[in-house]
Amino acid sequence: MTEGTKSIYIGDDLAAIRDQTREYVEKEIVPHASAWEDGGVPRSVLDEMAGLGFFGLRAPEEHGGLGMGALASVVFAEELGRSTYGGFTITVLVHTDLAMPYLTNFGTEEQKARWLPAMVKGQVLTAIGVTEADAGSDVASIRTAARREGEGYVINGSKMFITNGGIADLVFIAARTDPAAKGSRGISIFAVERETPGFKASRALEKMGWHSSDTAELVLEDVWVPEGNLIGEENRGFYYIMTNFQNERLAIMGQALGESQRALELTIEHVKGRHAFGSPLWDKQVIRQRLAARQAEIDAGRELAYRAAWLSDQGEDATRHVSEVKAYVGELANRVLYDCVQFHGGMGFIAETAVERLYRDVRIASIGGGATEVMLDEVAKRL
Ligand SMILES: Cc1cc2nc3c(=O)[nH]c(=O)nc-3n(C[C@H](O)[C@H](O)[C@H](O)COP(=O)(O)OP(=O)(O)OC[C@H]3O[C@@H](n4cnc5c(N)ncnc54)[C@H](O)[C@@H]3O)c2cc1C
């Protein structure tokens, strides 16, 4: 383990996951990922990662996983983040940490036995569809609806900005099941398989960053799913979403921390080698102190993330702590990348340097999965 990532929260098992992930990312991702920025992450790469066990960290052992906790998700996400390819990282994390938890946390034993082993093996890739064109931060205002019909449900509606939406084999869809219930009541989660008639990824959206990540608009027109595809209980979906948001936020902030750390390292390397006004840029106190200050903030953010994950692994309600992490690290990653581009000078503005790509990729860290302002209100409610 490197000096910078030592922490009281990280024991030998998590250090081993860090080392294995780092080695894999350095050997198998970094040399190839540039090509994926145009066209997406090849399925063969995802299959290989699944084969090496990376998709099963959080899945229960009886379904082929390792049964680890939120701390493992943060460490794994940090190491994927260090690849400097945010699109690759989010493609994996949406499957392992944003979507699969709907099944592991709330699925019936029958549903877990049916899908989890294939998800761990990478045969079934997943996505999570909550956001709609008119409902993002305000999840309770979604309009996609599911009504009972025969021994199942008919779903109608659309979803916006769905990561892996066009490539997933199965999407967990949030839909309103009780039209009379107000707001957060009356929402349920359904597993919708790609081939189901009426379900289509209508449009791949072009983005500022995360270029290798598939982001789609989904349309559901009279999509019939059997009762067995309702995850957990009817009308409990809002609670499931809020619960899973905790893990989602920790994972994506693990990603932002890994990206920030790697960008800072690349920048320190750059300013130590680059000479201006007769000496390396590193000799300018203003530069090295700014980078040192950012390192201190990353260290603080990492410890906040580990503490929140540890609390969550102890079975405690970590909502305040997770929200603090999301608010703090989401903004921090943007500050770090601003400075990294600045101290790379003109090179930092040139397309496909790692810091140029990361500057675009981290912009979403303070928006997606709970915008900073929404997170700060979650903290404020608990003060
Ligand atoms: C690339 C990408 C991938 C995504 N992947 C997924 C996915 O896989 N699945 C999924 O379901 N969703 C996904 N999303 C959606 C994402 O989670 C939402 O974009 C995010 O929650 C913000 O919602 P919104 O875009 O509707 O913004 P809005 O809710 O319209 O908010 C806009 C801004 O207003 C401010 N704001 C909002 N509420 C408040 C408040 N109460 N107080 C003060 N300020 C506030 C914030 O600054 C916020 O950024 C993705 C989005 C993107 C861009």
Summarised one tens digit per residue, pLDDT across range 187-240 is: 999 999 999 999 999 888 999 999 999 999 999 999 999 999 999 999 999 999
Q: How far is CA 114 from CA 99, 131, 306, in A?
A: 16, 26, 32
pLDDT of residue 1: 46
Residue 342 structure tokens: 């600045």
Helix (H, G, I), strand (E, B) or coil at 121: coil
Q: What's the CA-to-centroid distance between 337 and ligand 1, angstroms?
A: 21
- Report, as an integer, the average pLDDT of 284-310: 98
368 Cβ closer than 6 Å to some ligand 1 atom = yes
Q: State the Rg of the chain over Cα.
A: 21
- Report, as an integer, the average pLDDT of 30-35: 98
Q: What is the DSSP string of 220-237?
A: EEEEEEEGGGEESSTT-H
- pLDDT tens for each residue of 44-56: 999 999 999 999 9
All structural domains of the chain, each given as residue ranges with its CATH number in brackets, are 3-125 (1.10.540.10), 127-234 (2.40.110.10), 238-381 (1.20.140.10)
pLDDT of residue 2: 58
Residue tagged active-site, from 37, 217, 248, 356: 248
Residue with CA nearest ligand 1 atom 7: 162
Number of other CB atoms surrounding residue 202 within 10 Å: 12
pLDDT of residue 183: 85
CB 125 within 8 A of CB 113: no
Residue-averaged pLDDT of the chain: 97
Q: Is the pLDDT of residue 382 over 80?
A: yes
- pLDDT tens for each residue of 155-199: 999 999 999 999 999 999 999 999 899 889 999 999 999 999 999
21 Cβ closer than 6 Å to some ligand 1 atom = no
222 Cβ closer than 6 Å to some ligand 1 atom = no
